[in-house]
C-alpha cells in the first residue's frame, strides 16, 4: 500500500512516485537497484525532524513506471532533476544508496551548483570486473533470500516488474558508458560529500570509495569495518546520527581505509569509528596529505 505521504507526477514518459515528510531544507533520498522508497523508512522519522524529505521511487521501481524497460543511472538523474524542477526546488542536499548514489554522481557532475551536500552509500565510479560477473549471472532464483524478499516487497507490480528489473540489472554487465567517471569528472563536484562504504563490499572494492574520496574536492570518507554492500541497515552502525552530524556540519568523519593499513589487512568489527569535532587537515586520519597521483581503475 502506498504511503499517505505519497504522490505521483508525470515526468516525460514515466509516472514517478515519491513520498514527502517533514519541513525544512530539501533532502532527497534515493534507494538502490531493486529497491524503492520504503528502503529509507528506518531512517525517515529522525531525518524528517530537521529536513523536508523527498523519498523517490526511481524509474521502474516501486510505484514508478518505466515503459521502455531500460534503466541507466544517467537517465535516472535526469528524472530526479525534472521532478525537483516540477516542485520548484533549485538547491537541495541528497543521500543515495548504491544505484541511488550512482545517480547522485551523475547529478553532481551534470549540475553541480544545485547540490549543497550529499551522502554516497556503497556507490561506485565504474563497474569493476567482480560486479560485472554478479550482474551477468544474477537471477531471482540465485539471489540471497534477503535480497529476494526485498525485491518482492518493493516491486509493487509483482513478478513482471521483478523480471524487468533483473533483466535491466543483467544488462549492466556490458554497459561501459553509464558508470564511467574519471578523476577529472569527480573533481568537478562542488557538493560537500560523505562517502560511506563497507570494507567487505562484494560488488565494489573499498579502494573505489577511496578514489572517490580522493578526487572529489570536498569529501570525507567513512569505511565501515566488516561492512558488506549498503551496510547502513546494521543496527550497530550509527548511520542516522553520523549522517545528521555531517549534514549539519557539526563534525567530521575520521578516515579509515586500506591505504592506512598493512597490505592484506581488513578492518575488524571491533575497530573504532571516530568522529572529529574539528575539521581534519585535508588528508587522511593520520594527518597525511591526500595522494593525488593515482588514476581510477
Instruction: Provide the grid cell at 87.
Output: 516542485
Query: How high is the pLDDT of residue 223?
Result: 96
With residue 104 as reference, give the H or E element that holds it.
Answer: helix 99-110
Instruction: Provide the grid cell at 111.
Output: 549540475
Is 260 in contact with 285 (CB distance < 8 Å)?
yes
Q: Which of 89, 115, 83, 87 is nearest to 101 (CA)?
A: 115
- pLDDT per residue of the chain (297 residues) written in tens, 0 to 9: 678 899 999 999 999 999 999 999 999 999 999 999 999 999 999 999 999 999 999 999 999 999 999 999 999 999 999 999 999 999 999 999 999 999 999 999 999 999 999 999 999 999 999 999 999 999 999 998 999 999 999 999 999 999 999 999 999 999 999 999 999 999 999 999 999 999 999 999 999 999 999 999 999 999 999 999 999 999 999 999 999 999 998 756 654 444 344 344 444 443 433 333 323 333 333 333 333 333 333
Which pTM value belongs to this model? Answer: 0.86
**Range list of β-strands (E), 91-169:** 92-97, 115-121
Query: How high is the pLDDT of residue 253?
Result: 60
Instruction: Provide the grid cell at 289.
Output: 596529505
Query: How high is the pLDDT of residue 254?
Result: 52
DSSP 180: B
Q: How far apart are CA 266 and CA 279, in angstroms?
A: 26
Q: How far apart are CA 140 and CA 162, in angstroms?
A: 8
Query: How high is the pLDDT of residue 101?
Result: 98
Between strands 252-253 and 275-276, the pairing is: antiparallel
Q: Which superfamily, per CATH, for 6-127+175-276? A: Alpha/Beta hydrolase fold, catalytic domain (3.40.50.1820)
Q: How far apart are CA 245 and CA 167, in angstroms?
A: 38
Between strands 219-224 and 192-198, the pairing is: parallel
SS3 string of 142-156? Answer: CCCHHHHHHHHHHCC
Output b/e per residue, 222-256; b: 16+ Cβ within 10 A.
bbbbbbebbbbeeeebebeebbbbbbeeebbbbbb
Query: How high is the pLDDT of residue 250?
Result: 73
Query: How high is the pLDDT of residue 3?
Result: 82
Is 115 in contact with 103 (CB distance < 8 Å)?
no
Q: How far apart are CA 220 and CA 215, in angstroms?
A: 11
Is 80 in contact with 61 (CB distance < 8 Å)?
no
Query: How high is the pLDDT of residue 189?
Result: 98
Phi, psi of 30 (to 5 degrees): -120, 130
Query: How high is the pLDDT of residue 182?
Result: 98
Amino acid at each position: 500500500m502506498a504511503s499517505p505521504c505519497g504522490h505521483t507526477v508525470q515526468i516525460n514518459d514515466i509516472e514517478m512516485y515519491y513520498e514527502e515528510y517533514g519541513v525544512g531544507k530539501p533532502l532527497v533520498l534515493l534507494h538502490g537497484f531493486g529497491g524503492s522508497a520504503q528502503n529509507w523508512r528506518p531512517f525517515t522519522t529522525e531525518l524528517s525532524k530537521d529536513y523536508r524529505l523527498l523519498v523517490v521511487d526511481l524509474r521502474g521501481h516501486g510505484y514508478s513506471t518505466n515503459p521502455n524497460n531500460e534503466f541507466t543511472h544517467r537517465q535516472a538523474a535526469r528524472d530526479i532533476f525534472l521532478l525537483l524542477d516540477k516542485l520548484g526546488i533549485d538547491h537541495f542536499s541528497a543521500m543515495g544508496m548504491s544505484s541511488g548514489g550512482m545517480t547522485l554522481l551523475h547529478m553532481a557532475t551534470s549540475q553541480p551548483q544545485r547540490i549543497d551536500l550529499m551522502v554516497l552509500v556503497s556507490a561506485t565510479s565504474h563497474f569493476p570486473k567482480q560486479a560485472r560477473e554478479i550482474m551477468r549471472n544474477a537471477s531471482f532464483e540465485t539471489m540471497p533470500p534477503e535480497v529476494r524478499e526485498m525485491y518482492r516487497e518493493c516491486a509493487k507490480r509483482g513478478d513482471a516488474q521483478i523480471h524487468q528489473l533483473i533483466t535491466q540489472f543483467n544488462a549492466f554487465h556490458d554497459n561501459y558508458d553509464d558508470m564511467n567517471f574519471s578523476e577529472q569528472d569527480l573533481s568537478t563536484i562542488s557538493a560537500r560529500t560523505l562517502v560511506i562504504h563497507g570494507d567487505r563490499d562484494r560488488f565494489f572494492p573499498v579502494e573505489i570509495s577511496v578514489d572517490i574520496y580522493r578526487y572529489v574536492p570536498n569529501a570525507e570518507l567513512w569505511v565501515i569495518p566488516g561492512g558488506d554492500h549498503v551496510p547502513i541497515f546494521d543496527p550497530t552502525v550509527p548511520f542516522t546520527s553520523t549522517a545528521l552530524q555531517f549534514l549539519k556540519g557539526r563534525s567530521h568523519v575520521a578516515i579509515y581505509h586500506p591505504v592506512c593499513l598493512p597490505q592484506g589487512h581488513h578492518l575488524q568489527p571491533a575497530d573504532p569509528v571516530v568522529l572529529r569535532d574539528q575539521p581534519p587537515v585535508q588528508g587522511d586520519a593520520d594527518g597525511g596529505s591526500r595522494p593525488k597521483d593515482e588514476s581510477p581503475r
